[in-house]
Structure 1
């Protein structure tokens, strides 16, 4: 596996990779490689670390690439953490991860789908249902509560205006209150954007 640096006509240094692409959605650990050079670890300043929020994220090519704009990265990371980790109220963690996994499945982001599918399976204990989502797509039958969450996430991902009162009514009928419905929207909307960012600036690598 090797990387090649290609200089474009306008002087931008881009990366080309020969690592294998994934051939299916999976809960296995998927890699990711950037099209542009991330900041080297030894060039990270305190400003960059403030953008990373967690210093351990400096080991990630993805976050070191985003750290080229550390203030935006910090806002992105704090939003991400609040959506998924602030579970004192609202939707359980498993359902938040399901909404992100469904959005990633629609967008074709194999890397993000693998991460959030693992979390959804871990926190719910429903690995078989999560695997159906990955294998069959967003029309898989996961039980009505999860079906309603996936349908809402799918509509928001395909085009936000497709999400409407019928989705809200279905979520309420499945037992979600207004705060939980808000968490579905936030999880799906955030990862609809995050998938497209990740797909634009790099690509997934098949599990070992």
Structure 2
């Protein structure tokens, strides 16, 4: 099932390259109340994890957070296989299709950092079905969209365009995993909180930069 019902998906104009924050709707762990295990897993997960609603919420189940972070980091940052920019393109395509404005903004920036351009992401935000500046980019986007929408119908037909473009087996595996983990990550973001404006410059650590909610009054 889609991460967000089609009737509730944001308009194309909602998607952005701007750096966004994210606020949890549930009460996240307070760093001062965290135990040693929770703090260690937060530090393993991301440099900004102790000030992130997302990580602090997941740290309520610390072993799940540890496994999530190990899996995420291996898929998105592992060596070999698909180029980093291509993994980011797949992640952005999934997030755009599922209506996750926060994740789409993060991976739009990541793609731009890696590829030194943003044209394909601008196209993706406007019209995913026709996005791509090359046959290879279009094949990656269509691959990610097909796996996102109908994994039960995914098969050789969806692999063929990428194989035709010379994508290796290892790269195909990376693209499958990047698409799959964002199908999951989008659902966490969309069901546990919401994006929020954040007035900071993009940086190399932006992929999980999340603003903490103000203290309750």
Cross-structure match for 1:68: 60
| 1:80-123 superposed Cα distances (whole Å, 9 cap, x missing partner) | 00011112x10110001111110000100000000011111110
Q: Secondary structure at the match of 1:105?
A: helix
CA distance in 1, matches of 2:196, 2:153: 32
Unaligned 5+ segments in structure 2 are 1-11, 200-217
1:134 CA displacement: 1.6
Aligned CA distance change for structure 1 residues 127 and 188 (closer, same or farther; 3 Å): same
Any conservation in 2 of the 1:138–1:151 contact (CA below 8 Å)?
A: yes
Cross-structure match for 2:130: 139
1:51 CA displacement: 2.7
Cross-structure match for 2:206: none
CA distance in 2, matches of 1:173, 1:50: 45
1:23 CA displacement: 5.6
CA distance in 2, matches of 1:107, 1:207: 22
Higher RCO structure (Cα 8 Å, ≥6 apart):
2
1:161 CA displacement: 1.7
Cross-structure match for 1:183: 174
Cross-structure match for 1:86: 78
Count of residues in correspondence between the two structures: 186
Aligned CA distance change for structure 1 residues 138 and 61 (closer, same or farther; 3 Å): farther
Aligned CA distance change for structure 1 residues 204 and 180 (closer, same or farther; 3 Å): same
Cross-structure match for 2:32: 42
Counterpart among 54, 77, 96 of residue 69 in structure 2: 77
1:170 CA displacement: 0.8
Any conservation in 2 of the 1:152–1:163 contact (CA below 8 Å)?
A: no
Q: Which moved more, 1:149-158 or 1:64-73?
A: 149-158
TM-score (norm 2): 0.81
- Whether 1:97 and 2:88 are equivalent positions in the alignment is yes
Any conservation in 2 of the 1:105–1:138 contact (CA below 8 Å)?
A: no
Any conservation in 2 of the 1:96–1:184 contact (CA below 8 Å)?
A: yes
Any conservation in 2 of the 1:30–1:205 contact (CA below 8 Å)?
A: yes
Bigger Rg over Cα: 1
CA distance in 1, matches of 2:140, 2:13: 26
CA distance in 2, matches of 1:159, 1:47: 39
Cross-structure match for 1:12: none
Cross-structure match for 2:5: none
CA distance in 2, matches of 1:140, 1:74: 35
- Whether 1:25 and 2:15 are equivalent positions in the alignment is yes
- Whether 1:160 and 2:151 are equivalent positions in the alignment is yes
